């Protein structure tokens, strides 16, 4: 082929240059929150968008969100998912930036100026309150704070809790309620092999609790806990489950109409109700687990020093057609349960970290399949998305959060492929300058690996898989060593 004339060669190479620079426009995605949703979204994006650059910003110096600070210490198998997350973090196109808080160190607008897409996955951290009399009494604890406390969350490590009474009540019947009950009822020596914090072990070892109520406003057909957690509770050593026979009136007749998961769960409850009591007389220090239904808390009763002494419950019945949607209404009778400790476990809502975010009445960020509806669209701002509990509400397990994160990530990757990114955004280089003004230490993945190693070493000294660092200052010190 003859050499093309000079002129043509020139335009040709210009086109080439333009094509190259187009190809090199790096799609940048900023993810806020390094929990389940953040990592699974990053997994999907890093596999499906060529050239992508993903930066994950996390409030704490350490990653994994509720997998580290929610999942119970006696469920280490669940935490194996951390190995999948670690592979994502080690992907060359994925970066982790810990100790960066959206709303404090950087604003949403600043992120959107520097990324083509911003995905919010910062979870649902705040607990819902009952709004009843004396809710501020001593020894009424948010289940979520108690979980954070035994798991070493820096914001919960100083929780005050008094386990010197014999009876506690848990308000709510979800899996978190069962986690709390199980940790309180498990023989403490079994917890010593887990990564539960040392201070929690010391407090639990002194516990005098022998009786725990699990109180729900609705009936056995509406419980929110899942069968695996219930089965585990029923098998707990030295612990006897006592149901109230009258709560199960009409339940066995319903079993045939239920879908498989609820059917099996209900059958397990019925079986446990009918089981001849095992001979527990041989057991030392027997404890009791007492789920009760159709009771709605209306008032905390306090004694001297505003200390909790009992809970007043309204008796309820259910109205409505669809089983799941039936609502409890009071029938005009009440019951008082003596207890010196109560846990509130009725759900969570998300914290509004930016004034531009619109929240639904359920405490989630308003969205359509993960896209955040944005009225003041300006072309230089990256698009906004939400995944995980912040968007779905605090329901489901890791599996469900994973499904949601993949789904939203798919939408993002399709949007990125469709949009023509004319110019690369500033990305982390620009965001770093903003954060630097607040004089923050950013902890990268290597910093987390140092913390990880340190915690495992500290754990070894005590025969535990790890001893978590519970102070942010100490985390930073180890990470920046």
Partner 1 sequence: MSLRNIFRTVRSTHSYLLRYNYLGASFSNYKSVVPLSTNIPALKDEKVKVTFVLNDGKRIETEAKVGDSLLDVVVNNDLNIEGYGACEGTLTCSTCHVILKQEDFDRLPEEASDEERDMLDLAYGLTDTSRLGCQIIMSKDLDGLEIQIPETINDARS
Ligand X SMILES: Cc1cc2nc3c(=O)[nH]c(=O)nc-3n(C[C@H](O)[C@H](O)[C@H](O)COP(=O)(O)OP(=O)(O)OC[C@H]3O[C@@H](n4cnc5c(N)ncnc54)[C@H](O)[C@@H]3O)c2cc1C
Instruction: Name the site residues for ligand X (rule: CB under 6 A).
Output: 32-38, 57-60, 65-67, 70-71, 75, 78, 101-103, 121-123, 125, 147, 176, 179, 353, 388-389, 396-398, 401
Angle at 434 between CA 429 and CA 435, to 5 degrees: 95
3-state secondary structure 16-62: HHHHHHHHCCCCEEEEECCCHHHHHHHHHHHHHCCCCEEEEEECCCC
Considering beta carbons, is residue 57 or 289 the nearer one to ligand X?
A: 57
Contact 204, 162 (CB under 8 A): no
Exactly one of 25, 26, 76, 188 binds partner 1 (CB under 8 A); which one?
Answer: 76
Please state the closest distance from residue 435 (CB atom) to ligand X, in A: 12
Asked if 359 is part of the footprint of partner 1 (rule: CB under 8 A), the reply reads no
Which string of b and e fits 156-178 if b means at least 16 CB within 10 Å? bbebebebebbbbbbbbbbbbbb
| Cα(430)–Cα(436) distance, integer angstroms | 10
Q: Which does 248 bind (CB under 5 to 8 A by kind): partner 1, ligand X, none?
A: none
Q: Containing H/E element for 113? A: helix 108-114
Considering beta carbons, is residue 296 or 404 the nearer one to ligand X?
A: 404
Contact 212, 102 (CB under 8 A): no
Whole-number Cα distances in Å, 257 to 153, 254, 261, 263, 264: 43, 6, 12, 8, 12
Residue 24 burial (10 A CB sphere; 0-12, 13-18, 19+): exposed
Please state the closest distance from residue 222 (CB atom) to ligand X, in A: 20
Q: Which does 122 bind (CB under 5 to 8 A by kind): partner 1, ligand X, none?
A: ligand X
Q: Which does 60 bind (CB under 5 to 8 A by kind): ligand X, partner 1, none?
A: ligand X
Asked if 195 is part of the footprint of partner 1 (rule: CB under 8 A), the reply reads yes
| Cα(126)–Cα(103) distance, integer angstroms | 16
Residue tagged 């407090």 (tokens): 203
Considering beta carbons, is residue 104 or 231 the nearer one to partner 1?
A: 231
Exactly one of 80, 284, 422, 439 binds partner 1 (CB under 8 A); which one?
Answer: 80
Exactly one of 29, 38, 40, 95 binds partner 1 (CB under 8 A); which one?
Answer: 40
Residues facing 368 on adjacent strands: 371
Please state the closest distance from residue 151 (CB atom) to ligand X, in A: 8
Please state the closest distance from residue 398 (CB atom) to ligand X, in A: 3
Asked if 234 is part of the footprint of partner 1 (rule: CB under 8 A), the reply reads no
Asked if 349 is part of the footprint of partner 1 (rule: CB under 8 A), the reply reads no
Max distance between CA atoms of the chain, in angstroms, equals: 101
Considering beta carbons, is residue 219 or 391 the nearer one to ligand X?
A: 391
Considering beta carbons, is residue 176 or 381 the nearer one to ligand X?
A: 176
Exactly one of 14, 18, 104, 228 binds partner 1 (CB under 8 A); which one?
Answer: 228
* Candidates 69-77, 154-162, 208-216, 292-300; binding stretch for partner 1 (CB under 8 A): 69-77
* Candidates 73-81, 269-277, 374-382, 436-444; binding stretch for partner 1 (CB under 8 A): 73-81
Task: List Cβ neighbours of 454 (8 Å cut-off, separation of 6 or more).
Answer: 469, 478
| Cα(313)–Cα(220) distance, integer angstroms | 17
Asked if 299 is part of the footprint of partner 1 (rule: CB under 8 A), the reply reads no
The two tokens of residue 361 are 């009445």
Please give the residue ranges that form the binding site for partner 1 (CB under 8 A).
Answer: 40, 43-44, 47, 75-84, 86, 193-195, 226-228, 231, 260-261, 264-265, 367, 369-370, 391-392, 397-400, 402-404, 406-407, 452, 456, 459-460, 465-466
């Amino acid at each position: 082929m003859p050499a093309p004339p000079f002129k043509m060669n020139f335009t040709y190479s210009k086109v080439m240059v333009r094509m190259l620079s187009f190809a090199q426009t790096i799609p940048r995605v900023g993810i806020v929150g390094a929990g389940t949703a953040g990592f699974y979204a990053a997994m999907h994006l890093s596999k499906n968008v060529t050239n992508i650059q993903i930066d994950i910003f996390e409030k704490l110096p350490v990653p994994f969100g509720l997998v580290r600070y929610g999942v119970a210490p006696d469920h280490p198998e669940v935490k194996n998912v951390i190995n999948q997350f670690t592979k994502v973090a080690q992907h060359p196109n994925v970066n982790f930036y810990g100790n960066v808080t959206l709303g404090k160190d950087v604003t949403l607008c600043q992120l959107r100026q520097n990324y083509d897409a911003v995905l919010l996955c910062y979870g649902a951290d705040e607990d819902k309150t009952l709004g009843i009399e004396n809710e501020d009494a001593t020894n009424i604890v948010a289940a979520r704070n108690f979980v954070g406390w035994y798991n070493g969350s820096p914001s919960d490590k100083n929780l005050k809790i008094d386990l010197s009474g014999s009876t506690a009540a848990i308000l709510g019947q979800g899996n978190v309620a069962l986690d709390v009950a199980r940790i309180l009822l498990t023989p403490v020596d079994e917890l010593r092999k887990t990564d539960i914090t040392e201070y929690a072990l010391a407090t639990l070892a002194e516990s005098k609790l022998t009786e725990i109520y699990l109180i729900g406003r609705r009936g056995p057909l509406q419980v929110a806990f899942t069968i695996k957690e219930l089965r585990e509770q029923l098998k707990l050593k030295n612990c006897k489950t006592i149901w109230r026979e009258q709560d199960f009136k009409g339940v066995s007749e319903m079993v045939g109409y239920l879908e498989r998961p609820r059917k099996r769960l209900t059958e397990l409850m019925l079986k446990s109700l009918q089981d001849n009591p095992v001979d527990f007389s041989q057991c030392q220090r027997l404890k009791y687990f007492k789920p009760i239904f159709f009771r709605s808390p209306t008032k905390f009763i306090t004694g001297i020093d505003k200390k909790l002494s009992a809970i007043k419950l309204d008796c309820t019945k259910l109205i409505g057609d669809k089983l799941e949607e039936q609502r409890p209404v009071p029938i005009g009778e009440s019951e008082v349960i003596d207890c010196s400790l109560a846990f509130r476990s009725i759900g969570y809502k998300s914290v509004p970290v930016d004034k531009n975010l619109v929240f639904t009445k359920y405490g989630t960020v308003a969205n359509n399949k993960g896209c955040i509806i944005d009225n003041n669209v300006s072309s230089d701002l990256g698009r906004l998305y939400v995944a995980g509990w912040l968007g779905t509400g605090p329901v489901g397990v890791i599996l469900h959060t994973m499904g949601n994160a993949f789904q939203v990530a798919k939408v993002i990757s399709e949007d990125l492929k469709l949009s023509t990114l004319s110019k690369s955004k500033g990305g982390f280089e620009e965001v770093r300058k903003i954060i630097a003004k607040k004089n923050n230490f950013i902890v990268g993945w290597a910093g987390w690996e140092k913390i990880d190693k340190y915690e495992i070493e500290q754990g070894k000294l005590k025969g535990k898989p790890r001893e978590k660092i519970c102070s942010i200052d100490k985390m930073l010190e180890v990470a920046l060593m």
